Structure 1
Amino acid sequence: MPHNRIRSRHQPFEIAIMATAPVCGVLLIVLDVRPQSVEMAMPGPIQAGWESGLIVAGVAGLLGVLWPGRLSTGLGIELASVLVLGTITGMYAVALAVVAGAQGVAAMSFVVAVAAGSGWRAVQIALDLRRLTRAGQATQFAGVAVGGTFSARGGT
Protein backbone atom coordinates (compact mmCIF):
# COMPACT_ATOMS: atom_id res chain seq x y z
CA MET A 1 0.00 0.00 0.00
CA PRO A 2 1.44 3.41 -0.95
CA HIS A 3 2.33 5.90 1.74
CA ASN A 4 -0.27 8.69 2.07
CA ARG A 5 1.11 12.15 2.70
CA ILE A 6 -1.28 14.65 4.27
CA ARG A 7 -0.08 18.24 4.08
CA SER A 8 0.77 19.91 7.35
CA ARG A 9 -2.19 21.40 9.14
CA HIS A 10 0.09 23.99 10.66
CA GLN A 11 0.21 26.53 7.84
CA PRO A 12 1.63 29.68 9.47
CA PHE A 13 0.22 32.15 6.93
CA GLU A 14 -3.20 30.51 7.01
CA ILE A 15 -3.24 30.56 10.80
CA ALA A 16 -2.19 34.23 10.85
CA ILE A 17 -5.01 35.15 8.47
CA MET A 18 -7.51 33.01 10.39
CA ALA A 19 -6.51 34.67 13.65
CA THR A 20 -6.72 38.17 12.16
CA ALA A 21 -10.05 37.77 10.31
CA PRO A 22 -12.31 37.58 13.39
CA VAL A 23 -10.49 40.48 15.04
CA CYS A 24 -11.13 42.60 11.93
CA GLY A 25 -14.77 41.51 11.78
CA VAL A 26 -15.38 42.30 15.43
CA LEU A 27 -13.67 45.70 15.13
CA LEU A 28 -15.75 46.58 12.07
CA ILE A 29 -18.97 45.73 13.95
CA VAL A 30 -18.05 47.22 17.35
CA LEU A 31 -16.57 50.44 15.96
CA ASP A 32 -19.32 50.67 13.32
CA VAL A 33 -16.83 51.56 10.59
CA ARG A 34 -16.30 50.09 7.15
CA PRO A 35 -13.86 50.72 4.35
CA GLN A 36 -15.26 53.30 1.95
CA SER A 37 -15.10 50.80 -0.90
CA VAL A 38 -17.32 48.38 1.04
CA GLU A 39 -19.83 51.10 1.93
CA MET A 40 -20.07 52.24 -1.68
CA ALA A 41 -20.05 48.87 -3.43
CA MET A 42 -22.09 46.64 -1.08
CA PRO A 43 -25.65 47.06 0.17
CA GLY A 44 -26.14 47.09 3.97
CA PRO A 45 -27.18 43.43 4.40
CA ILE A 46 -24.21 42.30 2.28
CA GLN A 47 -21.90 44.44 4.42
CA ALA A 48 -23.24 42.75 7.56
CA GLY A 49 -22.72 39.33 5.96
CA TRP A 50 -19.21 40.30 4.92
CA GLU A 51 -18.30 41.40 8.47
CA SER A 52 -19.89 38.30 9.99
CA GLY A 53 -18.15 36.15 7.40
CA LEU A 54 -14.79 37.40 8.60
CA ILE A 55 -15.63 36.30 12.13
CA VAL A 56 -17.11 32.94 11.16
CA ALA A 57 -14.36 32.06 8.67
CA GLY A 58 -11.59 32.91 11.13
CA VAL A 59 -13.06 31.15 14.15
CA ALA A 60 -14.07 28.07 12.12
CA GLY A 61 -10.68 27.96 10.41
CA LEU A 62 -8.83 27.94 13.70
CA LEU A 63 -11.26 25.35 15.05
CA GLY A 64 -10.59 23.14 12.00
CA VAL A 65 -6.82 23.50 12.28
CA LEU A 66 -6.88 22.72 16.02
CA TRP A 67 -9.59 20.03 15.84
CA PRO A 68 -8.65 17.31 18.36
CA GLY A 69 -10.81 14.55 16.85
CA ARG A 70 -10.79 12.84 13.49
CA LEU A 71 -8.44 14.37 10.92
CA SER A 72 -11.11 14.27 8.22
CA THR A 73 -13.53 16.29 10.38
CA GLY A 74 -10.93 18.95 11.08
CA LEU A 75 -10.00 19.13 7.41
CA GLY A 76 -13.67 19.44 6.44
CA ILE A 77 -14.17 22.35 8.83
CA GLU A 78 -10.98 23.97 7.58
CA LEU A 79 -12.10 23.48 3.96
CA ALA A 80 -15.42 25.22 4.59
CA SER A 81 -13.59 28.03 6.33
CA VAL A 82 -11.07 28.71 3.58
CA LEU A 83 -13.86 28.65 0.99
CA VAL A 84 -15.78 31.30 2.96
CA LEU A 85 -12.61 33.32 3.50
CA GLY A 86 -11.77 33.18 -0.20
CA THR A 87 -15.27 34.36 -1.07
CA ILE A 88 -15.37 37.28 1.34
CA THR A 89 -11.87 38.46 0.45
CA GLY A 90 -12.83 38.19 -3.22
CA MET A 91 -15.86 40.38 -2.47
CA TYR A 92 -13.60 42.97 -0.88
CA ALA A 93 -11.20 42.87 -3.84
CA VAL A 94 -14.08 43.53 -6.24
CA ALA A 95 -15.32 46.41 -4.05
CA LEU A 96 -11.81 47.88 -4.07
CA ALA A 97 -11.53 47.52 -7.83
CA VAL A 98 -14.90 49.17 -8.43
CA VAL A 99 -14.40 52.09 -6.07
CA ALA A 100 -10.65 52.72 -6.02
CA GLY A 101 -9.69 51.60 -9.52
CA ALA A 102 -5.99 51.94 -10.28
CA GLN A 103 -5.36 53.74 -6.99
CA GLY A 104 -6.29 50.57 -5.11
CA VAL A 105 -3.86 48.27 -6.92
CA ALA A 106 -1.60 47.76 -3.90
CA ALA A 107 -4.46 46.96 -1.53
CA MET A 108 -6.17 44.79 -4.16
CA SER A 109 -2.96 42.82 -4.68
CA PHE A 110 -2.79 41.80 -1.04
CA VAL A 111 -6.49 41.01 -0.79
CA VAL A 112 -6.44 38.97 -4.02
CA ALA A 113 -3.41 37.10 -2.65
CA VAL A 114 -5.45 36.07 0.40
CA ALA A 115 -8.34 34.97 -1.82
CA ALA A 116 -6.00 33.02 -4.11
CA GLY A 117 -4.20 31.46 -1.14
CA SER A 118 -7.56 30.40 0.27
CA GLY A 119 -8.44 28.74 -3.02
CA TRP A 120 -5.06 27.02 -3.18
CA ARG A 121 -5.46 25.72 0.37
CA ALA A 122 -8.99 24.54 -0.43
CA VAL A 123 -7.61 22.44 -3.30
CA GLN A 124 -4.91 21.00 -1.03
CA ILE A 125 -7.49 20.07 1.61
CA ALA A 126 -9.81 18.51 -0.97
CA LEU A 127 -6.93 16.37 -2.27
CA ASP A 128 -6.00 15.37 1.29
CA LEU A 129 -9.58 14.37 2.04
CA ARG A 130 -9.60 12.31 -1.14
CA ARG A 131 -6.38 10.59 -0.06
CA LEU A 132 -7.87 9.86 3.35
CA THR A 133 -10.98 8.38 1.75
CA ARG A 134 -8.94 6.18 -0.57
CA ALA A 135 -6.70 5.06 2.30
CA GLY A 136 -9.76 4.17 4.37
CA GLN A 137 -11.25 2.22 1.48
CA ALA A 138 -7.98 0.41 0.84
CA THR A 139 -7.74 -0.52 4.53
CA GLN A 140 -11.33 -1.71 4.56
CA PHE A 141 -10.85 -3.84 1.45
CA ALA A 142 -7.52 -5.20 2.73
CA GLY A 143 -9.29 -6.32 5.91
CA VAL A 144 -12.00 -7.98 3.83
CA ALA A 145 -9.43 -9.80 1.72
CA VAL A 146 -7.67 -11.12 4.79
CA GLY A 147 -10.68 -11.63 7.06
CA GLY A 148 -13.19 -13.33 4.80
CA THR A 149 -16.18 -12.42 2.70
CA PHE A 150 -17.56 -8.99 1.98
CA SER A 151 -21.07 -8.06 3.13
CA ALA A 152 -23.32 -5.21 2.04
CA ARG A 153 -22.39 -3.22 5.18
CA GLY A 154 -18.68 -3.42 4.43
CA GLY A 155 -17.86 -5.96 7.11
CA THR A 156 -16.94 -9.63 6.98
Structure 2
Amino acid sequence: MGGRPLIVASGRHPFEVCTLLAAFIVGTALHLGAVVPRSVSTAMPPTIQAVWAIGLIVAGLAGLAGVAVPRRRLLVGLGLELLGIGVLGTAATMYSISLYAVSAEQAIVAGGFVSALAVASWWRWGQIIVDLRRLGRAAEAGMTVEVPLLVDGDR
Protein backbone atom coordinates (compact mmCIF):
# COMPACT_ATOMS: atom_id res chain seq x y z
CA MET A 1 0.00 0.00 0.00
CA GLY A 2 3.03 2.27 0.05
CA GLY A 3 3.60 5.50 1.91
CA ARG A 4 0.82 7.55 0.34
CA PRO A 5 -2.10 8.55 2.54
CA LEU A 6 -5.47 6.91 1.99
CA ILE A 7 -8.07 9.43 0.81
CA VAL A 8 -11.71 8.80 1.77
CA ALA A 9 -14.53 10.58 -0.05
CA SER A 10 -16.53 12.70 2.37
CA GLY A 11 -20.33 12.50 2.47
CA ARG A 12 -20.51 16.25 2.93
CA HIS A 13 -21.35 16.86 -0.67
CA PRO A 14 -24.20 19.41 -0.87
CA PHE A 15 -26.26 17.11 -3.12
CA GLU A 16 -26.15 14.30 -0.57
CA VAL A 17 -26.84 16.60 2.39
CA CYS A 18 -29.86 18.20 0.64
CA THR A 19 -31.22 14.80 -0.39
CA LEU A 20 -30.93 13.44 3.15
CA LEU A 21 -32.58 16.58 4.54
CA ALA A 22 -35.42 16.21 2.02
CA ALA A 23 -35.87 12.56 3.04
CA PHE A 24 -36.22 13.59 6.67
CA ILE A 25 -38.68 16.40 5.87
CA VAL A 26 -40.83 14.27 3.55
CA GLY A 27 -40.81 11.31 5.94
CA THR A 28 -41.81 13.57 8.84
CA ALA A 29 -44.59 15.17 6.78
CA LEU A 30 -45.92 11.72 5.82
CA HIS A 31 -45.73 10.54 9.44
CA LEU A 32 -47.66 13.64 10.56
CA GLY A 33 -50.48 13.05 8.08
CA ALA A 34 -49.46 14.47 4.71
CA VAL A 35 -51.29 12.95 1.76
CA VAL A 36 -49.62 9.72 0.68
CA PRO A 37 -48.97 9.54 -3.08
CA ARG A 38 -51.60 7.48 -4.93
CA SER A 39 -48.98 5.05 -6.21
CA VAL A 40 -47.86 4.32 -2.65
CA SER A 41 -51.38 3.97 -1.23
CA THR A 42 -52.31 1.65 -4.10
CA ALA A 43 -49.16 -0.49 -4.20
CA MET A 44 -48.25 -0.72 -0.50
CA PRO A 45 -50.34 -2.02 2.41
CA PRO A 46 -50.75 0.51 5.26
CA THR A 47 -48.09 -1.14 7.44
CA ILE A 48 -45.52 -0.97 4.62
CA GLN A 49 -46.50 2.67 3.98
CA ALA A 50 -45.75 3.45 7.63
CA VAL A 51 -42.41 1.61 7.44
CA TRP A 52 -41.59 3.54 4.23
CA ALA A 53 -42.32 6.91 5.88
CA ILE A 54 -40.35 6.02 9.01
CA GLY A 55 -37.55 4.78 6.75
CA LEU A 56 -37.32 8.22 5.17
CA ILE A 57 -37.02 9.78 8.62
CA VAL A 58 -34.35 7.28 9.69
CA ALA A 59 -32.47 7.76 6.40
CA GLY A 60 -32.39 11.50 6.87
CA LEU A 61 -31.45 11.45 10.55
CA ALA A 62 -28.79 8.74 10.30
CA GLY A 63 -27.31 10.06 7.06
CA LEU A 64 -27.15 13.66 8.27
CA ALA A 65 -25.68 12.56 11.58
CA GLY A 66 -23.07 10.58 9.67
CA VAL A 67 -21.98 13.47 7.50
CA ALA A 68 -21.95 15.80 10.53
CA VAL A 69 -19.68 13.60 12.65
CA PRO A 70 -16.22 15.20 13.05
CA ARG A 71 -13.58 13.78 10.75
CA ARG A 72 -11.60 12.43 13.68
CA ARG A 73 -14.52 9.97 14.21
CA LEU A 74 -14.46 8.81 10.59
CA LEU A 75 -15.61 5.22 11.17
CA VAL A 76 -18.62 6.34 13.21
CA GLY A 77 -19.53 8.90 10.55
CA LEU A 78 -19.19 6.44 7.69
CA GLY A 79 -21.22 3.83 9.60
CA LEU A 80 -24.09 6.25 10.18
CA GLU A 81 -23.90 7.49 6.61
CA LEU A 82 -23.95 3.88 5.38
CA LEU A 83 -27.11 3.24 7.39
CA GLY A 84 -28.81 6.43 6.18
CA ILE A 85 -27.92 5.96 2.53
CA GLY A 86 -28.89 2.27 2.62
CA VAL A 87 -32.31 3.10 4.06
CA LEU A 88 -32.72 5.95 1.56
CA GLY A 89 -31.85 3.60 -1.30
CA THR A 90 -34.43 1.12 -0.01
CA ALA A 91 -37.14 3.78 0.36
CA ALA A 92 -36.42 5.25 -3.08
CA THR A 93 -36.47 1.77 -4.62
CA MET A 94 -39.81 1.03 -2.94
CA TYR A 95 -41.31 4.28 -4.21
CA SER A 96 -39.94 3.75 -7.71
CA ILE A 97 -41.44 0.26 -7.89
CA SER A 98 -44.81 1.54 -6.65
CA LEU A 99 -44.77 4.33 -9.26
CA TYR A 100 -44.12 1.95 -12.14
CA ALA A 101 -46.46 -0.74 -10.79
CA VAL A 102 -49.39 1.65 -10.55
CA SER A 103 -48.78 4.10 -13.38
CA ALA A 104 -46.62 2.18 -15.88
CA GLU A 105 -45.52 4.50 -18.70
CA GLN A 106 -47.13 7.51 -17.00
CA ALA A 107 -44.48 7.12 -14.29
CA ILE A 108 -41.59 7.89 -16.64
CA VAL A 109 -41.04 11.43 -15.36
CA ALA A 110 -41.44 10.96 -11.60
CA GLY A 111 -40.20 7.39 -11.74
CA GLY A 112 -37.11 8.45 -13.65
CA PHE A 113 -36.11 10.91 -10.94
CA VAL A 114 -36.90 8.57 -8.07
CA SER A 115 -35.11 5.68 -9.79
CA ALA A 116 -32.06 7.91 -10.30
CA LEU A 117 -32.13 8.75 -6.59
CA ALA A 118 -32.28 5.03 -5.76
CA VAL A 119 -29.33 4.26 -8.07
CA ALA A 120 -27.33 7.19 -6.67
CA SER A 121 -28.04 6.01 -3.11
CA TRP A 122 -26.90 2.48 -3.86
CA TRP A 123 -23.85 3.81 -5.69
CA ARG A 124 -22.88 5.93 -2.66
CA TRP A 125 -23.58 2.96 -0.40
CA GLY A 126 -21.07 0.93 -2.44
CA GLN A 127 -18.51 3.73 -2.20
CA ILE A 128 -18.82 3.74 1.58
CA ILE A 129 -18.40 -0.05 1.73
CA VAL A 130 -15.22 0.25 -0.37
CA ASP A 131 -13.95 3.09 1.84
CA LEU A 132 -14.61 1.07 5.01
CA ARG A 133 -12.70 -1.91 3.58
CA ARG A 134 -9.82 0.35 2.53
CA LEU A 135 -9.79 1.92 6.00
CA GLY A 136 -9.55 -1.49 7.58
CA ARG A 137 -6.59 -2.45 5.38
CA ALA A 138 -4.97 0.95 5.99
CA ALA A 139 -5.31 0.56 9.76
CA GLU A 140 -3.66 -2.86 9.57
CA ALA A 141 -0.80 -1.35 7.55
CA GLY A 142 -0.46 1.69 9.86
CA MET A 143 -1.25 4.20 7.10
CA THR A 144 -2.53 7.74 7.59
CA VAL A 145 -5.99 8.71 6.35
CA GLU A 146 -7.02 12.01 4.76
CA VAL A 147 -10.62 13.17 4.34
CA PRO A 148 -10.89 16.13 1.96
CA LEU A 149 -13.15 18.90 3.20
CA LEU A 150 -16.09 19.85 1.00
CA VAL A 151 -17.57 22.06 3.70
CA ASP A 152 -15.44 24.26 5.97
CA GLY A 153 -15.64 24.17 9.73
CA ASP A 154 -14.79 20.56 10.66
CA ARG A 155 -11.21 19.88 11.60
TM-score, normalised by the number of residues in structure 2? 0.86
Letter in 2 for 1:11: H
Q: What is the match of residue 112 of structure 1?
A: 115
Q: What is the match of residue 128 of structure 1?
A: 131
1:17 equivalent in alignment to 2:22:
no
- 1:12-91 mapped onto 2 (5 Å cutoff): 12-68=14-70, 70-91=73-94
Letter in 2 for 1:115: A
> Which structure has the larger Rg?
1
Q: Distance in 1 between matches of 2:33 and 2:44?
A: 18
Q: Answer with 56-65 or 22-31: which moved more.
A: 22-31
Q: CA deviation at 1:29?
A: 2.0
> What SS does the corresponding residue of 2:32 show, helix, strand or coil?
helix
Work out whether residues 27 and 56 of structure 2, in 8 Å CA contact, stay in contact via their aligned partners in 1.
Answer: yes
Could you say which structure has the greater relative contact order, defined with CA pairs below 8 angstroms and 6 or more residues apart?
2
Q: How many residues align?
A: 140
Identity value in percent = 46
- Give the gaps of 5 or more residues in structure 2: 144-155
Q: CA RMSD in A?
A: 1.3
Q: Distance in 1 between matches of 2:37 and 2:46?
A: 13
> What SS does the corresponding residue of 1:9 show, helix, strand or coil?
coil
